[in-house]
A = this chain, B = another copy of it.
């Protein structure tokens, strides 16, 4: 079956579509981190995006692309993470219903966040099968339009708009690095780079305990994520055939980092940059901090993907 891959025109169209609804997030620099890595780092702060994550770009891109009749029936997804919050707010902003299938095991703080954006939560058993069956039933009952967290060209195009802004605002970069979970942010970034920053290499980072993307890229075969074990709760999912195809074509390398390195990077960002970020957001910085010899002298864009974190977690 043919796979639809978004092009640069799709990213530019998505950017026009979402511009009235999303923050153009700031770039931030930090002398301490430049000194520690020997590189010149430019951070794109998607933790300061609405709902606290880049996911709001992709969700808004999808929701705003629907025709009125489709939109009126609402949108649906199965997620307990940032995509659920993002889709809920994107739907509310368009004035349409959102249905979120969420396992009964999801923490109350996540349920509350989604409910706070006005979505209807449909509980299900905490298995993949129950989740998919429940979603299918919701879609059949309501006529809602399913928006996948990453395996969707409109979502990928939306996520790529963060890199469009980075390249416009930062000037020339030798490389850009993002986290990789399902690959929506990474593949959108790669498409943006190929067309808007041709000399800029694209890298990703992921936790050692969820290294399916690194193994997939290294082996040339899509390896699913099985029993991931990491504090980076936004990076547990597997690539799709679509995101893997884009990543194989355009991504130079995927590096893995330990959870200890993630905690150290988190602490530096809180203490030195005064920014709240979630563990998943700093895998790229953790990768740079542990590979000083490879990055010294380079000018590197680093995407902080989100800042939705349980403040009572004892990381420090």
Enumerate chain A interface residues (CB-CB to B < 8 A). Answer: 26, 28, 31, 47-48, 50, 52, 267, 270-271, 273-277, 307, 311-312, 316
Q: Please, which residues of chain B bring their CB within 8 A of the CB of A270?
A: 276, 311
22 contacts between A and B (CB under 8 A): A26-B26, A28-B48, A31-B50, A47-B274, A48-B273, A48-B274, A52-B274, A267-B311, A270-B276, A270-B311, A271-B276, A271-B311, A273-B276, A274-B275, A274-B276, A274-B277, A274-B307, A275-B275, A275-B276, A276-B276, A311-B316, A312-B316
Query: Distance in Å from the Cβ of A308 to the closest Cβ of chain B?
Result: 8
Number of copies: 2
Query: Distance in Å from the Cβ of A88 to the closest Cβ of chain B?
Result: 14
> Which has the most chain B C-beta neighbours within 10 Å: A26, A28, A270, A276?
A276
* A8 and B304 alpha carbons, distance in the complex (Å): 39
Q: Please, which residues of chain B bring their CB within 8 A of the CB of A312?
A: 316
Q: Please, which residues of chain B bring their CB within 8 A of the CB of A271?
A: 276, 311
Look across to chain B and name the residue whose beta carbon is closest to the beta carbon of A311: B316
* A308 and B312 alpha carbons, distance in the complex (Å): 19
Look across to chain B and name the residue whose beta carbon is closest to the beta carbon of A46: B274
Query: Distance in Å from the Cβ of A269 to the closest Cβ of chain B?
Result: 9
* A52 and B271 alpha carbons, distance in the complex (Å): 9
Look across to chain B and name the residue whose beta carbon is closest to the beta carbon of A267: B311
* A65 and B312 alpha carbons, distance in the complex (Å): 45
Q: Please, which residues of chain B bring their CB within 8 A of the CB of A31?
A: 50
Q: Please, which residues of chain B bring their CB within 8 A of the CB of A273?
A: 48, 276
* A225 and B26 alpha carbons, distance in the complex (Å): 40
Query: Distance in Å from the Cβ of A276 to the closest Cβ of chain B?
Result: 4
* A276 and B276 alpha carbons, distance in the complex (Å): 6
